[in-house]
DNA sequence: GTGAAAGCGCTAACAA
DNA sequence: TTGTTAGCGCTTTCAC
């Protein structure tokens, strides 16, 4: 293993000079710099991460805590994680992958050991048990998601309330009066995961203003669950003509069932989804949708975190504005029936 | 920040004693151990990761390199990654998340800096450019996937050749003679990703032995691509009655299109998928399938790696035996037509 | 613009 | 069974 000392000898300078060439923390003459850089190349030197962490009290590692559960849409998680890792690298950080399994203990472990300089938490619940710990430490952190109380925390998320409102507005504009919301699995609501509840709130309050009726039904993914859910919806509200779906694994079953019931999309019923663009485009009907900007969320989270680490001021809450893309699954309500 | 020295003072012992209590590398009297453990508790001590890494020349970190691309089935990747992280923790390791973006450079960086003790590579291609580097270093590594030349490498993967054979056997037993294989996106084959080609080889060679005809078509996911692919298949081989699908985002489109063409599953055509059980169960027809054991793959990869790190012998190639689960999408070929 | 040297917190010989 | 001590490779004062 090549050490900094060896580089110094090889270049005919002192260890500190090599260190400063690397860090750029003091000016170096052009000649010296070149010789040092040449030696680094020739010897294939890589600074030792442990030594660096010990001496500088910085690990250059960001911890990312992903949920262990997989009842939520996994590709979104993965896309966020990859965006986090990619963006972190551009700022000189590596990413440590923690699962939710350890829970609050992981926060303590990482904070206490100096393993990571900062952390990003995904899948934050409204009243998350990790939050007190984060508030009580000086380790910078960013949440992807929005808990009930954001004081003292930095959060990045899609503005789900605005998302819900946007969906309902679009349907209202098309003349729909009875809206059914097909939501995430019941467990998601029971855990009080922020995004699901906020979508619903935004949607309901806008619907109230616009005078629309809303029926909300959580739904496990898959065909069997969807069959039941859909039957109940039409049973309770036969005049439903607009659907808002926030559950990727319910999208295709819903479309298939509607087809089977000879309800044409968008002639008889309109469907709008909250999902990644890829899902909207690949569905059997190209779906009008509000996109979940997974990459953007991961990227912004890292940028907020790096700003904190650099001692720059950060926003407390970054809410990304939802964007509606109109495709082939929504249309004006039928005037014939 | 609490240091080992502070714990030592608090417990009235020397630093090394505290260290040995932690590592268990020499026997400690019960009394001393208790006092030390008590001090650790009281002071809330966590060993400093950097210092430990520097002194012991071990980071207790495993690097996991995930593909940047997302044209493959992402949930499988995520499930593997989570299984890796979870299993690694049970062995005292943390996981560093690297994306494929840096390519071979990431291998150099991690190896050279001592950031990680070992690495796991996912999405290995037949002739992967990272392999020479791995062979040339003494850093232990495990591949998830199987390259063309496995010499000097440890690999974990599903036995995809056996998987392909198993699919074809099942269809043959049911009397099908003309088989269509709907594969991954063309890009996957162009990159010569091992698993896709091996499935095909296993399938073809068994089909030859059994005297079946096989038509293979790569397919991007989604409905549009599937429509085209399916049309071509029936155009070229009108007598096709058996489908093998190895592409999660083609599964549902295929089923929907068959339905639309009034080809009943499994009465008219049989469909067997290579996919995670969850996908098979949630599809609109419960699919006969060979499971992709994502968790098992992640777990085994870590276990192989830990064995190497502990200096134990390891298998060169661990091929997990495929398991066929018969569900509702396959049946005997119709004798009426 | 450069060098010398004192740690950072821990591990693991070597001693006792 | 326990203590003493010399590093691990780097960063960063302090000195020139």
Cβ of B75 and A79 within 8 Å? no
3-state secondary structure of B290: strand
Cβ of A98 and B94 within 8 Å? yes
Q: Is A68 exposed, middle or buried (0-12, 13-18, 19+ CB in 10 A)?
A: middle
* One domain, residues B153 and B300: yes
* One domain, residues B215 and B253: yes
* One domain, residues A120 and A228: no
- Closest C-alpha among B211, B214, B217 to residue B196: B217
pLDDT of residue B204: 98
A29: the nucleotide nearest its CA (via C1') is: C1
Cβ of B96 and A96 within 8 Å? yes
In a domain, B334, yes or no: no
Chain B residues lying within 8 Å of A50, measured CB to CB: 49-54, 59, 114
- Closest C-alpha among A64, A110, A75 to residue B97: A64
Contacts for A156 with CB less than 8 Å, ≥ 6 apart = A142, A143, A144, A297, A300, A301, A304, A318, A320
When divided into structural domains, chain A yields a total of 3
CA of B14, C1' of C16: distance in angstroms: 14
In a domain, B176, yes or no: yes
b/e A27-38 (16+ beta carbons within 10 angstroms → b):
ebeeebbebbbe
Cβ of B85 and A98 within 8 Å? yes
Averaged pLDDT of chain B: 94
Query: Is A103 near chain B, with CB under 8 Å?
Result: no
Assess whether pLDDT exceeds 60 at residue A96: yes
* One domain, residues B123 and B198: no
* One domain, residues B101 and B73: yes
Cβ of B1 and A59 within 8 Å? no
Query: Is A108 near chain B, with CB under 8 Å?
Result: yes
In a domain, B328, yes or no: no
Assess whether pLDDT exceeds 90 at residue A124: no
Q: Is B30 exposed, middle or buried (0-12, 13-18, 19+ CB in 10 A)?
A: exposed
Tell me the C-alpha to C-alpha distance, in Å, between residue A128 and each of A116, A143, A146, A190: 21, 11, 10, 13
Bridging pattern class, strands A118-121 and A141-144: parallel
Which residues sit opposite B217 in a β-bridge?
B182
Assess whether pLDDT exceeds 60 at residue B319: yes
CA dist., res. B236 & res. B240, Å (int): 9
* One domain, residues B105 and B213: no
**CATH number (domain holding residue B11):** 1.10.260.40
3-state secondary structure of A221: coil
pLDDT tens-place string over residues B251-286 = 999 999 999 999 999 999 999 999 999 889 888 899
Contact positions of strand D to protein Cβ (< 7 A)? 1-5, 7-13
3-state secondary structure of A41: helix
3-state secondary structure of B106: helix
Q: Is-contact A325 A288, C-beta < 8 A?
A: yes
CA dist., res. B28 & res. A108, Å (int): 27
Mean pLDDT of A168-192: 93
Best residue in A76, A77, A282 for a mutation probing chain B (most B CBs within 10 Å) = A282
Assess whether pLDDT exceeds 70 at residue A71: no
Mean pLDDT of B215-236: 94
What is the DSSP track for B202-248?
HHHHHHHHHT-EEEEE---SSHHHHHHHHHHHHHH-TT--EEEE--H
Bridging pattern class, strands B94-99 and A94-99: antiparallel
Residue of B nearest to A286 (CA): B223
Q: Is-contact B191 B152, C-beta < 8 A?
A: no
In a domain, A330, yes or no: no
Boundary of a domain, candidates A13, A39, A56:
A56
Q: Is-contact A93 A61, C-beta < 8 A?
A: yes
pLDDT tens-place string over residues B40-93 = 999 999 999 999 999 999 999 999 999 877 666 788 898 999 999 999 999 999
CA of A7, C1' of C7: distance in angstroms: 21
Enumerate long-range contacts of A308-312, CB under 8 Å, 24 or more apart: A308/A118, A308/A140, A308/A142, A308/A154, A309/A117, A309/A118, A309/A140
Chain B residues lying within 8 Å of A2, measured CB to CB: 112
HEC string for A76-105: HHHHHHHHHHHHHHHCCCEEEEEEHHHCHH
Assess whether pLDDT exceeds 90 at residue B189: no
- Closest C-alpha among A278, A286, A271 to residue A167: A271
Assess whether pLDDT exceeds 90 at residue B101: no
Query: Is A114 near chain B, with CB under 8 Å?
Result: yes
Query: Is A109 near chain B, with CB under 8 Å?
Result: yes
Averaged pLDDT of chain A: 94
Query: Is A264 near chain B, with CB under 8 Å?
Result: no
What domain range includes position A252?
Answer: 160-292
Measured over all CA atoms, what is the biggest interatomic distance in chain A, rounded to whole angstroms? Answer: 89
In chain B, the DSSP E strands lie at: 61-66, 94-99, 118-121, 141-144, 155-158, 178-182, 213-217, 242-245, 270-274, 288-290, 317-320, 324-325
**Interface subset of B 145-204, CB within 8 angstroms of A:** none
What are the φ and ψ backbone dihedral angles of A104, each rounded to 5 degrees?
-60, -30
- Shortest Cα distance, chain B CAs vs residue A63, angstroms: 9
Q: Is-contact A179 A246, C-beta < 8 A?
A: no
Least confident of A74-78, A131-135, B96-100, B170-174: A74-78
- Shortest Cα distance, chain A CAs vs residue B58, angstroms: 9
* One domain, residues B172 and B267: yes
Assess whether pLDDT exceeds 80 at residue B336: no
In a domain, B119, yes or no: yes
CA dist., res. B227 & res. B12, Å (int): 76
In a domain, A169, yes or no: yes
Listed by range, residues with Cβ under 7 angstroms from strand D are A 1, 3-5, 15-16, 19-20, 22-23, 25, 45, 47-48, 51-52, 54-56; B 12-17, 20, 26-29, 31-33, 51, 54-55, 57
* One domain, residues B66 and B130: yes
Tell me the C-alpha to C-alpha distance, in Å, between residue B203 and each of B158, B218, B329: 14, 15, 19
Q: Which of B44, B49, B89 sits opposite A115 (nearest CB)?
A: B49
pLDDT tens-place string over residues A227-256 = 999 999 999 999 999 999 999 989 999 999
Angle of CA points A255, A260, A266, to nearest 5°? 45
**Interface subset of A 203-242, CB within 8 angstroms of B:** 221-223
Q: Is-contact B253 A284, C-beta < 8 A?
A: yes
pLDDT of residue A222: 85
* One domain, residues B148 and B176: no
Contacts for B24 with CB less than 8 Å, ≥ 6 apart = none
What is the DSSP track for A191-211?
TTBHHHHHHHHHHHHHHHHHT
* One domain, residues B245 and B144: no
Least confident of A37-46, A183-192, B14-23: A183-192
Query: Is A281 near chain B, with CB under 8 Å?
Result: yes
Chain B residues lying within 8 Å of A75, measured CB to CB: 70, 74-75, 78
Q: Which of A46, A253, A284 sits opposite B109 (nearest CB)?
A: A46
How sure is the predictor about B307, in pLDDT bands with cuts at 50, 70 and 90? very high
CA dist., res. B273 & res. B277, Å (int): 10
Percent of chain B residues topping a pLDDT of 90: 82
In a domain, B136, yes or no: yes
- Shortest Cα distance, chain B CAs vs residue A206, angstroms: 34
3-state secondary structure of B129: coil
Boundary of a domain, candidates B255, B272, B292:
B292
For chain A, the straight-line distance linking the first and the last C-alpha, in angstroms and rounded, comes to: 78
pLDDT of residue A335: 74
3-state secondary structure of A315: coil
Assess whether pLDDT exceeds 80 at residue A72: no
Least confident of A38-52, A117-131, A292-306: A117-131
Query: Is B262 near chain A, with CB under 8 Å?
Result: no
CA dist., res. A297 & res. A320, Å (int): 8
In a domain, A45, yes or no: yes
Assess whether pLDDT exceeds 70 at residue A336: no
Cβ of B97 and A97 within 8 Å? yes
b/e B305-334 (16+ beta carbons within 10 angstroms → b):
bbbbbeeeeeeeebbbebeeeebebbbebe
* One domain, residues A77 and A36: no
Give Cα B70 to chain centroid, integer Å. Answer: 14
**CATH number (domain holding residue A251):** 3.40.50.2300
* One domain, residues B214 and B287: yes
Cβ of A59 and B50 within 8 Å? yes
């Amino acid at each position: 293993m090549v050490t900094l000392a060896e580089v110094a000898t090889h270049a005919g300078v002192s260890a500190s000079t090599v260190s400063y060439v690397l860090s750029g923390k003091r000016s170096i003459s052009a000649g010296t710099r070149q010789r040092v850089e040449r030696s680094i190349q020739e010897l294939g030197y890589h600074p030792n991460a442990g030594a660096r962490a010990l001496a500088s009290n910085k690990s250059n590692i960001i911890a990312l805590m992903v949920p262990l559960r997989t009842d939520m849409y996994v590709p979104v998680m993965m896309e966020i994680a990859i965006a986090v890792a990619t963006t972190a690298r551009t700022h000189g950080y590596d990413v440590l992958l923690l699962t939710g399994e350890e829970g609050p203990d992981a926060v303590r472990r990482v904070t206490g050991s100096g393993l990571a300089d900062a952390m990003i938490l995904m899948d934050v619940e409204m009243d998350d048990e990790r939050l007190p710990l984060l508030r009580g430490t000086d380790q910078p952190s960013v949440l992807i998601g929005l808990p009930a109380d954001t004081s003292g925390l930095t959060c990045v998320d899609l503005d789900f309330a605005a998302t819900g409102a946007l969906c309902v507005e679009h349907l209202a504009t098309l003349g729909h009066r009875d809206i059914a919301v097909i939501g995430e699995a019941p467990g998601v609501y029971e855990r009080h995961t922020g995004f699901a509840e906020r979508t619903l709130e935004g949607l309901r309050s806008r619907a109230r203003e616009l005078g629309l009726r809303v029926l909300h039904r959580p739904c496990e993914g898959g065909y069997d669950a969807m069959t039941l859910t859909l039957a109940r919806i039409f049973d309770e509200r036969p005049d439903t003509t607009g659907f808002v779906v926030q559950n990727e694994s319910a999208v295709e079953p819903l479309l298939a069932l509607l087809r089977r019931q000879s309800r044409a999309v968008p002639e008889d019923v309109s469907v709008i989804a909250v999902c990644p663009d890829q899902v909207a485009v690949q569905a059997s009907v190209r779906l009008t949708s509000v996109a979940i900007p997974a990459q953007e969320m991961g990227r912004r989270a890292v940028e907020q975190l790096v700003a904190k680490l650099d001692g720059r001021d950060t926003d407390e809450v970054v809410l990304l504005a939802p964007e509606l893309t109109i495709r082939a699954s929504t249309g004006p309500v039928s005037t014939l029936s």
